[in-house]
A and B are shown apart, each in its own frame.
Chain A
Amino acid sequence: MAHRELTAARLRAILGAGTRVGTAPDGVPRAVPESADACALVLRTATQEQWRVRIEGGARWSPPDAPADLVLTTAGLRRVTDVSATDLVATAEAGVPWSTLRRRLADHGAWVAHDLPGDERTLGSAVVTGTAGPLRAGFGALRDHILGITLVTGDGRIVQTGGRVVKNVAGYDLAKLMAGSFGAFGVVTSLHLRLRAVPRADMTLTATGTRDHLLDAAHAVLAAGRTPAAMELLSPRAGGTGSAGQWMLAVRMLGMESEVAAQRDAITQNAGLPFTPHGGADAADLWRRLLSGTGDDEVTLRLATLPEGLADALDLVAHHLDETVDDWISVTVPSGQIRWSGAAGAEDIALLRRNAAEREVPLTIERAPWPVRKRLGHFGAYRAGVGRLVDQLRRSFDPGRVLTVAVGAEQ
């Protein structure tokens, strides 16, 4: 606990004129630093004073409800510092909304080959939660697009890892540790990202049917040695099919025109489904709807299994979380990810997690109200020996334990 109660006035006095100070909706004083140095000052002071700190991005995805003496928001870090269309590298601050970044890059004919569930999320939020959408199938997780990260540690040190070039093995890859860490090691203030030129052709195929029929079709596409940019299986609610039991399979192909046309023919044949083709604005709408559909849900979980284990894992999810029949489920078939959104209690999630772990399937809580996160942790139980490593890493980066992030389960 803090030595002395922190007020906005006191915070202002300590931080000086360099950092804006306000108050969060729950009454907690909020610092709005505009540089890594200012973040460092805030976190150094917090460590000295033993203030618990909650780090917030846009507060549009995870609820900003962790108990804290001080909020540090990345809202003051909103610059896209640099975009190089020739080198296909961009540098942006963590508080930049993903949609802003996407627009800025599009002006240069470039993009980050990644899509993001949720609306108006910040780049920092995407990075620390390790969130991925359907494009994960073809392009990997967000960590695979990060070339360098600037991180301010829990005790206010500025660490700059990686670089601005597309290939780099100088020193340990600390950026990997930060991506998907839920902010356990500090606040990410800026990133260097790998871009791609906007592909020349972009085509989507969709089909509806029962879950298992579509899953079999997707497996047939994989077995034939094909990996489209996205191949997402969607529950009736997520796919907006409008009828219970009717799931959707959405396949996206990107690349040169000739290649996309060849893939379309091959995939249609392998899947044996009566696909509807979508192009242009129609396809863009479809994917946007898929990504923003979970906005209001309280809980988002992700499970990671092998493609072959998807039916079993989906059954498990249905078994434990089936009170709401109309679940929002999105399955990235080629890489074996399941994302589930809805309302669920800690008990049910804990049970699901335990059963999933027995199948070597990690369940990550991407978002949930604080009491659930606190009790279960974003990651929960680790494998033997790993918990100690994670604990010691946290101690190295946040020796004062000021960051209120529930990584592991409550003991």
Chain B
Amino acid sequence: MSVAAQILDAIAGIVGPRWVRRQRAELETYASDGLPTLHARPGAVVLPGHRDEVIRVVRVLAHHSVPFVARGAGTGLSGGALGESDTVVIALTRLSRILSIDPINRRAVVEPGVVNARLSQATAQYGLHYAPDPSSQTACTIGGNVAENAGGPHCLKYGVTTNHTLELEVVLPSGEVVRLGSPNGDQWGPDLVGLFVGSEGMFGIATEITVRLVPTPRAVCTLLAAFGSIRAAGEAVSAIIAAGIVPAALEMMDQNCIKAVESSIYRAGYPTDAAAVLLVELDGETATAVDEESAIVGDMLRTRGARSVKTAHEQADRDRLWQGRKKAFGALGRLGPDLVVQDAVVPRSALPDVLDDISRIGARYGLTVSNVFHAGDGNLHPNITFDRTDPEQRARVERASGEIMETCIAAGGTITGEHGVGSDKLRYMSSIFDAETLGAMRAVRRVFDPEERSNPGKVIPVHACREWSGAIRYDRGRTVAIETA
């Protein structure tokens, strides 16, 4: 199936012909996101330049019942922004204006295509920043962050996207426009902003986003601790958190990752003979206070077996330590042609055991698994490098990934901490949610999108849902029927 030419012509009449992509080669750019294992070429790509154009495009698509997928920067790691050939991708990268910054009330209003890092750059002059800082922040968009409920290293102390989203303008799949939340963040009703954040583009398109800004800390200190075993590093993580210390960030990298970083252009001076390093960031009111805190943390790290602890105060030194962490995925990408990254979360105390299990699984399948992750949250990112042109290797990666996921679920964890379910983790959804709960999610989705046209096929494994008697249903005659029990 493809999208009818006359529909695309109507859309070209709204956005201008140069902003509608229909050629195979052009569409290829949009056929994947940050995850190399999935590929789907959409029927067309539209790049509206203004929210009004988004609304009009969505209305045309609604009129013709054409499915669509919103897309930000396409850095997603779950195949969320992919659409099949009957689908129109609505790319929001041209909606990239920061509409207002309100330093007194600490908030900003942005269009969805604003790149995450650009917002913090723009607010720096007021001593404020936008706290959620995914490692992809120089590329990914706030719209994509809202859809995925993105996290980042500093979310340990400051919270993830949902904790910073106050108000949304949303174009529903029908073309109707609603405003959710309020300037303050509290609502005239149940928390529909909280519900929308993390809905992975399946409830409509966010066209305007109000976010909270956070004062930039006055004093910051970054510690790098090297450990002889992953287990010891994992135990140090639990010890720090349990002592009532809330670091701004607490990240871990294992030896494979350290070596990859140190042999890349992103070299950060990590000791390559360490089994693991922890990156601990502390921030606060004054340098003296932060120094005292870092002395306490340094002692704890050493007591828990750190071989060495390096402390960086100066911005340049801290940036260097962070560069290795933030560019770790890039560095790992050099280990092989392709890279898959998982995103399970386990209880912090289970980290040492789970990491042992993961390394055993990797060894059993003859695969290189590298770990770089948000240790303070227990949010793992096992990376497997491979060659996707080798079907036998691909099959091994698939099986190993499945086993890693099972291990994390068995440890009381979940399948995704920040990258989303998308298409990639659909198959795991029924291992953590029962049919009733999946049915509830689907029923909620149908309140926003009765035809299930917005980002179809993602997140909810439809076959595994129990039907909800009260759910909104769509039938061929285009009426929305509500059945009651």
Contact = CB atoms under 8 A, between A and B. Distances in A.
Partners in one complex: yes
Interface of A: 47, 84-89, 109, 130, 140, 143-144, 153, 155, 157-161, 163-174, 176-177, 179-181, 184-185, 196-200, 219, 222-223, 225-227, 255-259, 261-263, 266, 302, 304-308, 335-337, 357, 360-362, 364, 379-387, 389-390, 392-393, 395-400, 407-408
Contacts of A176: 162, 191, 193-195, 197
A272 B28 CA distance: 61
Contacts of A400: 484-485
A168 B198 CA distance: 10
For the side of the interface on B, what is the size category?
Answer: 35 or more
A304 B184 contact: yes
Interface in B147-180: 148-149, 151, 155, 159-160, 162-163, 172, 176-180
Contact of A266 (B194, B285, B412, B440): B285
Contacts of B459: 171-172
B412 A361 contact: no
A184 B191 CA distance: 12
A396 B429 contact: no
Contacts of A165: 345-347, 378, 412-414, 417
A160 B430 CA distance: 12
A258 B194 contact: no
A184 B345 CA distance: 31
Nearest to B105: A306
Contacts of B216: 225
Interface in B220-249: 238, 241-246
Contacts of B445: 172
B189 A87 contact: no
A144 B148 CA distance: 17
Interface in B420-456: 420-421, 425, 429, 432-434, 436-441, 443-448
B419 interface: yes
A158 B468 CA distance: 12
Given A155-B470, A262-B286, A87 B185 contact: no
Nearest to A302: B186
B347 A181 contact: no
Most buried by B among A109, A157, A389: A389
A304 B472 CA distance: 32
Nearest to A176: B194
B470 A177 contact: no
26 contacts: A86-B242, A109-B244, A143-B191, A155-B485, A157-B439, A165-B346, A166-B378, A169-B419, A170-B421, A172-B195, A184-B190, A197-B242, A197-B244, A226-B285, A256-B244, A259-B289, A262-B285, A266-B286, A306-B105, A336-B105, A336-B184, A386-B188, A389-B447, A396-B472, A399-B470, A408-B189
Which of A87, A161, A396 has the most chain B CB atoms closer than 10 A to its own CB?
A396
Given A164-B412, A167-B374, A308-B105, A258 B288 contact: yes
A130 to B, nearest CB: 8
Given A173-B197, A337-B186, A383 B179 contact: yes
Given A163-B414, A168-B345, A263 B197 contact: no
A392 B472 contact: yes
Contacts of A364: 186
Interface string B76-87: 000000000000
Contacts of B192: 177, 386, 389-390
Interface string B280-299: 00001110111011001000
Contacts of A262: 284-286, 288-289
Contacts of A87: 347-349, 378
B418 interface: yes
**Nearest 7 CB-CB pairings of A with B:** A176-B194, A399-B470, A304-B186, A197-B244, A225-B215, A262-B285, A385-B178
A307 B105 contact: yes
A399 B484 contact: yes
B127 interface: yes
Contacts of A140: 159, 163
A288 to B, nearest CB: 22
B188 A225 contact: no
Contact of B444 (A177, A199, A258, A306): A177
A410 to B, nearest CB: 15
Given A176-B193, A362-B186, 13 more contacts: A84-B347, A86-B238, A86-B348, A160-B434, A166-B345, A171-B433, A174-B440, A225-B216, A255-B284, A261-B289, A362-B187, A389-B447, A396-B472
Given A140-B163, A143-B194, A144-B163, A225 B444 contact: no
A335 B190 CA distance: 18
Contact of B347 (A89, A184, A335): A89
B384 to A, nearest CB: 20
Residue of A84, A158, A173 with most partner-chain B CB within 10 A: A173
A313 to B, nearest CB: 10
B377 A167 contact: yes
B379 interface: yes
B104 interface: yes
B471 interface: yes
A398 B447 contact: no
Given A169-B419, A258-B292, A389-B192, A361 B184 contact: yes
A161 B437 contact: yes
A383 B188 contact: yes
B345 A396 contact: no
Contacts of B468: 157, 396
Contact of A385 (B160, B176, B243, B460): B176
Contact of A304 (B148, B155, B182): B182
B468 to A, nearest CB: 6
Nearest to B468: A396
Contacts of A225: 127-128, 215-216, 218
B75 interface: no
B285 A173 contact: no
B215 A171 contact: no
B184 A335 contact: yes
A263 B286 CA distance: 8
B345 A167 contact: yes
Contact of B198 (A172, A379, A389): A172
A304 B425 contact: no
Contact of A174 (B187, B420, B444): B444
Contact of B417 (A168, A361, A382): A168
A169 B416 contact: yes
Contact of B104 (A130, A185, A223, A383): A223
